[in-house]
Amino acid sequence: MVKVGTMSTSDFAWPYLHKRLRILPRDSALRVAVELAKRVPGNIIEFGVHKGDSTRAIRRALGRADKRIFACDSFKGLPEKYENAEVGHFACKPPRIPGVQIVEGYFEDSLTPALAKRVGRIALASLDADLYSSTLCALNWLTPLLATGSLLLFDEFLGEKESEKRAFETWSAETGIRTIKVAEFLREPSGGGSIIDLRPLYQVVMDEVLPDEVSLRSRFLATPLGRTARRVRNSLQGKN
């Protein structure tokens, strides 16, 4: 929950806040994550593709960097109700995106050991499947593919019943994999809610000491975007 002085965002209505907060658009958050991932060995994978808008943003941000992109979705829509979206919401034809390998099917069926072999080590996983069960399924499958430096970006951490956050916490507790938060972007509420949501970016820390080349937090904070993120965080915490 974001703190504003002594109050949390749940005390505020979105219509009041949205004129006062500088929300980083989704594509910019993806761009930051992909930029950071360029320095991390491995490939990029997205869970929750829909028509491919976020996938295209990842593809654009990657440019000529030598990484493969995998994009996983049933394209049959949500398997469970979520916020104000019914089962089947988001169903569509799989997009065709040059340079992106589409993995079609429900995660429970499509995230196989054979796919893990094809994908290999993960530099960045972008998790946008909304549901607790889907996010946990993706995280569990990802586990053996993660190494120090791997990045995990969540799209709607606080959505309905904090589904993505709870899945991340369950996975962290069950696997014992340590992560540090390297960035957190505010996002507009989705699903008609009023609570400011979050896109947090975590980095896996398997070893006690991070090698310099993957210690990204300080690099990020030194960039103009990092300075803006720090100012937003400070102003929300009531600091100057």
Footprint on this chain of ligand SAM (rule: CB under 6 A): 48-50, 53-54, 73-74, 77-79, 90, 106-107, 128-131, 134
Instruction: State in angstroms the smallest separation of the CB of 22 from ligand SAM.
Output: 20
- Closer residue to ligand SAM (CB): 61 or 131: 131
- Closer residue to ligand SAM (CB): 107 or 154: 107
- Closer residue to ligand SAM (CB): 50 or 187: 50
Instruction: State in angstroms the smallest separation of the CB of 234 from ligand SAM.
Output: 29
Instruction: State in angstroms the smallest separation of the CB of 88 from ligand SAM.
Output: 9
Instruction: State in angstroms the smallest separation of the CB of 154 from ligand SAM.
Output: 11
- Closer residue to ligand SAM (CB): 9 or 74: 74
48 CB-near residues (< 8 Å, 6+ apart): 54, 72, 73, 127, 128, 129, 130, 134, 155
